[in-house]
Structure 1
Amino acid sequence: MRPALTVTAIILSSLPIMAFAQGKGIRLWNLTTATMTGFQLSPAGQNNWGPNHTLNDKDKELDHDERLRLTGVEPGRYDAKVSYAGSRQCIVRDLDIKVDAVVSVADKDLKECTK
């Protein structure tokens, strides 16, 4: 086998291992009874809201019992602003986001809701 082909074969055979090593990432699981139209994070207590993560979903919303991979989010403690159709917004305080974990939000977690 030629050296270039050997190197290529080694690289291609290691791709599944590298993908596995990266893990599944941080995921949001919508356990609320409504479809989320917005999900923004802020470092806990700072009210410095980041981008709307639901825009990364194929239909730009997160249905009940749907999961979404959160990109660009580092592990830590966050507050979340959750938005719904009709301008309703709620806050979820002090979410503990961990590496490769699923972060779930249920109706009981929603606080400070506006209509």
Structure 2
Amino acid sequence: MSQSQVLVGDLLITVEAELVELGRLAEQFQAVLGPAMLRAADDFACHQEAQIIDLITQRLYGLSDFMRALRPSVPEAWSVDPDPAASVVTLADLSCRLRGVPEQPSTHQAGEFEAF
């Protein structure tokens, strides 16, 4: 396997982990936003927006379950070069994870402001 090749099963694990983390963040967002949404429950449009957040959370977890269930059916020896696909991902840390590059330790101090 060349340097830029990764096992498809490993890539599926990475994508699954990203989806799980996004689902967790969406749940956290729901928990924070939930009380405000309840106060605005009489507003139909606001109620619909709250349902969209829940749908996003459910879909993220559904996709992670799909990736987990798909992994055993992929032949163990299959590999792919993730670099071309990862190069279109504009978030550098996500792009690195999808390439299989080990995560670099954060240089930010706890409590330090971080701009996105």
Which has a greater percent of helix?
2
Judge same fold: TM > 0.5, yes or no: no
After TM superposition, the score normalised by the length of structure 2 is 0.24
After TM superposition, the score normalised by the length of structure 1 is 0.24
Q: Which protein, 1 or 2, shows the higher relative CO under an 8 Å CA cutoff with sep ≥ 6?
A: 2
